[in-house]
Structure 1
């Protein structure tokens, strides 16, 4: 695997090639060794090998002295081996993709552990492939349409019908197929497996296969329309030809009206009786606007645990009991799942993710089904609204005024924003506190419709319903409010953390939150009630890896297929200079890791809106039920979709504008998930759990983060905080922007 430079001496090039081949064949020989040397050798890839083995003058690999000492149980610090290494080989020669089989051989050597021969490298799951490229394809290290065939084949063995239709729609939306019609033709029998019976029950007699497949295409089209696309966008896909729209002129409206009105009325009456005084007052004012079509805009303000979600869902039942339409959205997936019929705001309203300005509009055409739905909507509930840039709310206002032909705010729809000014604000990359505040909802022109000199439609909730009852918990609730309002902050920006809430090290923190994780696989509810929070993504990744290592079960590691997306031909030379193993190590907040290690039963968090109508939103928490080669079977935990089973394929992702950290555009084909033993504080906003661990070895850095982290648990006795060793005794940094707090 030697690169050739025309200016080099040919004899030197040939000698270097011979040396490289010798070290590689001896690497194979070391892996075939049945002694202790071979047991150790088989743990590593060729790229990792020189870190643990040394190349001897007699042309063979031997364990480094430091490794021998480690195996014998002695400290590595006692080994002075630096001077005894005659020839330490630090890395493989770079090979460009244009080098063909040599490039694919090098790629395999970066991921396959313990190969014993070139043939072994080409063997995947017991199958000897004719070329190194074929082996790379079989391992999923390259982008190829055959992956989706394998993905659907795996999923078809497990389930058919609805799950497969959503999986096929996800592949169409995210995987850039070259011939989607061939996959449809091959798997349409499985995708439409349940439709013959459904059509018979609908009263259609003598249903042919052609009708079944046509109805399947119609349902697939409906799924795609949930994401603003249709079958017509995939030019080679067949289109449905029969008039299935008689089942619903607008499937989005039909979905929102698919409720038992009498049952909704019973649920509404039951929940209304449970409202406290603040909740009842807010409920009455909102319903007055809905019933009389006043089109008012409200803000439901309440600290974490005061029952905002309970008010939202009570309003949902009441509005739906009248046969009206209410749309529930939130700024994050976790909060959306807690609302009945909830979706993320971006997925529901097609709000642009990148390039938002004060004049942006949503990607909704006036002739679309979504526009038809918005024309008949009575109420919009938007939770955790303060987390998003004010331009997102303004984009929806611009679009609704146009769609509904009205100059009233949001086209005359009653809108309720919700949140807590003590919690986190919009993320402004590298923004100053002033820029963050300027991006928040109270700095929008929309705030004038909520609060001005004439009106005050800020609805306040003050009674904490989340914390356990008792004098001690009431004191804890008061302390949380002091944290949120930035009281008792010392000159160095810290506040005191009660000693009984502090722990000594990361092991104590992990054992507190996840006791017994090294034993029998816990049920999904175990992970639903527990989480560890940290301020930075890098700290979260480290925590996730360490806890996964403690969890019982076999680890499966999935390596991504990475490449660089060329903007023009001038980038080609640069692409050939970047090794694929380097691309695999790159991390960005919006991307899954290049090497994704999982165990069956581990908690995951979804990184993309794959199927919002089934709860698969950015931020959805899931449990891994089955780990296939090309598909993950997962179970949603929490919210209205708790227990829902779905398939997750590998998709091609690029960092969004706010996540882009590189001077080039990275394309990564990987499962769009991350481990979720731990998560960032911002990601956890909107949910409550019983046990919380807070890793503050790296302190919080933005408004409201400490308050959000401390207010996730239902009792002070179920929170543990790990502070930096250098931190002042039991004190943590707290950042609060007073100018955004409501009086």
Structure 2
């Protein structure tokens, strides 16, 4: 028991922290309470000790976040500073002052010019704040409109525009940052975090660097959830101190939203236009009511002239129907003709044929797949075709806790090996080769195109001679330049108040990438599998609309029944159209269901792999029996997935 004459340091009891010491003796104290004659006195001492330990932990946590002698400004401050530097560098990189804005305005089509004039007129007005959502199908010129607006504001008003998008590759395509990085919004992999205010050190950094921004642009809003949208509002109010102002929404800054609600929806969250449920309000905000910022504040406009497929009118019209979940027999016949012909009748032979097909395509060809598992299968097969030596990159994990807790942590990490969403997106083991195609999984330098989603090629590695540890990897970027990438360090929670610091290269193989990663891209050639594995509304439309023409499309599978559009998004889209123009034509809900087509399977389903692996680990099953079970399962999958 702690006495006034004891030293505070004695509480540690040879442990690293007060918390470990407390838990070390807790069981013994609890057991002793049953027999000790001074029961009440011990109970009071137990509670006092618990309170004292918590106070020490709170003080230590405060020192760690604000006054850590090894890192006086803190990790958050460094990240915020780097984000603001990227924001500045992107503006400098584009040489906005030297661009001929008049020429750009002259290149705007009728739709773009109308929206441009509306934006500029409102921004120049002293009496109104721009809060506008501009809709448009894929390829209607939203990116060019963004650049024209940004350049005009810089040259004519000498002010800044902050451009952002929900994903790294989408942000890079519009010379912006991810919205989370720009505004330092909380990110926790695997679940949605609660809103956290900026620290006293970080807040001044953002206030200083964003003080000249008068317009915030957010592209690809279909992937922004209502929760993230509310966080954006709260963050801007915090930065520009408008929480108590009249009409202080979004920091009283002009806000321009762009994107197509019929493209990919938010992952595991509600649409940006959805009302908050009572459960979410209680969980994330703890108050009785939260306004629907989308329906309350924002006006609507629309771009309708397609620029991406302007040289292929029939394909453009096909995409417009696919967008709303409609498919004619003629459309289906056209897409069926784009399918790759497979001769093999097994997973292995078809996968081999697919790899051959990819190798015969141009180097800029991308393979878009609906699931991560399919990407893993294709990436492993393509890697095996490279003759150079395998390079295994093993993450270096640091865990500061007691030996007993550490065993549990390592077990959790082992179980999470296949799901890097629980380890901040960094895998425990990454296998690459010289010549392999990889994707960067972190935003490193937006000015160089080193963003989450960038595809590059491994051309060499730098190793420590004494330990064989890979120190850096040289990549060939799409721009033709070379870059030496190094490990990044991330911190993530694995158990309550137990954190792991992982150092690993932010890379993954990228012969196949998910359709979700492709939103915002414009491609000349692509191989796609739009089959029974498609799991999200708008997924097929996003994949198909990446291409500039039908000639560049090659399909592994095509299932008409997987072409769907969100009924919620269509209803909201129609509401907005009527709000803007009572006479405008709305979209009809498609009730027709198409016949499902059996896939040509080339990737062993994950369930079969799992059963095969579990059988191989059990020595009581002879190898021949394992093969019988797996072959039976493969035949079952091939014959029953229709």
TM-score (norm: length of structure 1) = 0.55
- 1:515 equivalenced with 2:347 (yes/no): no
Q: Which residue of 1 aligns with 2:483?
A: 646
Distance 1:711 1:663 in 2: 45
Q: Which residue of 2 aligns with 1:411?
A: 251
Task: Report the CA distance shift for 1:375/1:425 in structure 2 as closer, same or farther (over 3 A).
Answer: same
- Quote the offset at 1:394 in angstroms: 1.7
- 2:490–2:501 CA contact under 8 A, matched in 1: yes
- Quote the offset at 1:630 in angstroms: 1.2
- Quote the offset at 1:643 in angstroms: 4.5
- 1:564–1:664 CA contact under 8 A, matched in 2: no
SS of alignment partner, residue 399 of structure 1: helix
Counterpart of 1:310 (choices 121, 144, 148) is 144
Counterpart of 2:80 (choices 228, 232, 246) is 228
Distance 2:334 2:198 in 1: 44
- 1:604 equivalenced with 2:438 (yes/no): yes
How big is each residue's C-alpha offset from its partner over 1:238-290, in whole Å with a ceiling of 9 and x where there is no partner?
A: xxxxxxxxxxxx978965774898x6364311211111111111111111122
Q: Which residue of 1 aligns with 2:314?
A: 475
- Quote the offset at 1:698 in angstroms: 4.8
- Quote the offset at 1:652 in angstroms: 4.1
Q: Which residue of 2 aligns with 1:460?
A: 302
How big is each residue's C-alpha offset from its partner over 1:439-489, in whole Å with a ceiling of 9 and x where there is no partner?
A: 89xx972213554xxxxx3221112111151xxx22221221211111249
Distance 1:396 1:579 in 2: 33
Q: Which residue of 2 aligns with 1:422?
A: 262
- 1:268–1:317 CA contact under 8 A, matched in 2: yes
Counterpart of 1:394 (choices 225, 230, 255) is 230
Distance 1:180 1:225 in 2: 10
Distance 2:457 2:536 in 1: 30
Q: Which residue of 2 aligns with 1:281?
A: 114
Q: Which residue of 2 aligns with 1:24?
A: none
- 1:678 equivalenced with 2:530 (yes/no): no
Q: Which residue of 1 aligns with 2:209?
A: 373
Distance 2:291 2:520 in 1: 23
Task: Report the CA distance shift for 1:349/1:656 in structure 2 as closer, same or farther (over 3 A).
Answer: farther
SS of alignment partner, residue 623 of structure 1: strand
Distance 1:266 1:611 in 2: 23
- Quote the offset at 1:722 in angstroms: 1.5
Counterpart of 2:180 (choices 337, 343, 346) is 346
Counterpart of 1:734 (choices 554, 563, 566) is 563
1:76-115 equivalent positions in 2, closer than 5 A? none
SS of alignment partner, residue 273 of structure 1: helix
- Quote the offset at 1:583 in angstroms: 6.2
Distance 2:332 2:398 in 1: 46
Q: Which residue of 2 aligns with 1:143?
A: none
Distance 1:474 1:670 in 2: 46
SS of alignment partner, residue 107 of structure 2: coil
- Quote the offset at 1:603 in angstroms: 2.8
Task: Report the CA distance shift for 1:391/1:260 in structure 2 as closer, same or farther (over 3 A).
Answer: closer
- 1:502 equivalenced with 2:349 (yes/no): no
Distance 1:548 1:514 in 2: 12
SS of alignment partner, residue 736 of structure 1: coil
- 2:531–2:557 CA contact under 8 A, matched in 1: yes
Task: Report the CA distance shift for 1:476/1:625 in structure 2 as closer, same or farther (over 3 A).
Answer: same
- 1:509–1:721 CA contact under 8 A, matched in 2: no
| Structure 1 unaligned spans of 5+ | 1-176, 182-220, 231-249, 452-456, 517-525, 725-729
Distance 2:89 2:74 in 1: 11
SS of alignment partner, residue 312 of structure 1: helix
Distance 1:253 1:344 in 2: 10
Task: Report the CA distance shift for 1:364/1:348 in structure 2 as closer, same or farther (over 3 A).
Answer: farther
- 1:325 equivalenced with 2:144 (yes/no): no
Distance 1:260 1:574 in 2: 50
Task: Report the CA distance shift for 1:666/1:404 in structure 2 as closer, same or farther (over 3 A).
Answer: closer
1:427-438 equivalent positions in 2, closer than 5 A? 427-428=267-268
- 1:691 equivalenced with 2:553 (yes/no): no
SS of alignment partner, residue 100 of structure 2: helix
Task: Report the CA distance shift for 1:444/1:278 in structure 2 as closer, same or farther (over 3 A).
Answer: farther
Distance 1:604 1:568 in 2: 37
- 2:215–2:253 CA contact under 8 A, matched in 1: yes
How big is each residue's C-alpha offset from its partner over 1:415-454, in whole Å with a ceiling of 9 and x where there is no partner?
A: 11111111101111xx7x89996689xx972213554xxx
- 2:456–2:475 CA contact under 8 A, matched in 1: yes
Distance 1:363 1:715 in 2: 49
How big is each residue's C-alpha offset from its partner over 1:62-114, in whole Å with a ceiling of 9 and x where there is no partner?
A: xxxxxxxxxxxxxxxxxxxxxxxxxxxxxxxxxxxxxxxxxxxxxxxxxxxxx
Distance 1:617 1:259 in 2: 15
- Quote the offset at 1:690 in angstroms: 0.8
How big is each residue's C-alpha offset from its partner over 1:273-323, in whole Å with a ceiling of 9 and x where there is no partner?
A: 111111111111111122225321111211111111111111121112122
How big is each residue's C-alpha offset from its partner over 1:681-722, in whole Å with a ceiling of 9 and x where there is no partner?
A: 111101111111112455210111111111111111211122
Task: Report the CA distance shift for 1:566/1:484 in structure 2 as closer, same or farther (over 3 A).
Answer: farther
How big is each residue's C-alpha offset from its partner over 1:561-599, in whole Å with a ceiling of 9 and x where there is no partner?
A: 4658477665345357x599x569534245344432223
RMSD: 4.1
- Quote the offset at 1:178 in angstroms: 12
- Quote the offset at 1:396 in angstroms: 2.1
- 1:301–1:420 CA contact under 8 A, matched in 2: yes
Distance 1:258 1:222 in 2: 27
Distance 2:272 2:151 in 1: 39
Distance 2:322 2:92 in 1: 44
- Quote the offset at 1:390 in angstroms: 2.1
- 1:621 equivalenced with 2:455 (yes/no): yes
- 1:584–1:595 CA contact under 8 A, matched in 2: no
Task: Report the CA distance shift for 1:365/1:223 in structure 2 as closer, same or farther (over 3 A).
Answer: closer
Distance 2:457 2:199 in 1: 33
- 2:391–2:432 CA contact under 8 A, matched in 1: yes
- 1:361–1:396 CA contact under 8 A, matched in 2: no
SS of alignment partner, residue 222 of structure 2: helix
Distance 1:227 1:690 in 2: 35
Q: Which residue of 1 aligns with 2:102?
A: 269
- Quote the offset at 1:360 in angstroms: 5.2
Distance 1:579 1:403 in 2: 38
TM-score (norm: length of structure 2) = 0.63
Distance 1:260 1:435 in 2: 31
- 2:93–2:447 CA contact under 8 A, matched in 1: no
SS of alignment partner, residue 484 of structure 2: strand
SS of alignment partner, residue 403 of structure 1: helix
SS of alignment partner, residue 463 of structure 1: coil
- 2:135–2:303 CA contact under 8 A, matched in 1: yes
- 1:330–1:384 CA contact under 8 A, matched in 2: yes
Distance 1:225 1:571 in 2: 30
Distance 2:492 2:372 in 1: 15
Task: Report the CA distance shift for 1:736/1:697 in structure 2 as closer, same or farther (over 3 A).
Answer: closer
How big is each residue's C-alpha offset from its partner over 1:2-38, in whole Å with a ceiling of 9 and x where there is no partner?
A: xxxxxxxxxxxxxxxxxxxxxxxxxxxxxxxxxxxxx
| Structure 2 unaligned spans of 5+ | 1-67, 278-289, 343-350, 463-469, 575-642
SS of alignment partner, residue 483 of structure 1: helix
Task: Report the CA distance shift for 1:415/1:584 in structure 2 as closer, same or farther (over 3 A).
Answer: closer
SS of alignment partner, residue 600 of structure 1: coil
- 2:395–2:504 CA contact under 8 A, matched in 1: yes
SS of alignment partner, residue 264 of structure 1: helix
Distance 2:322 2:553 in 1: 15
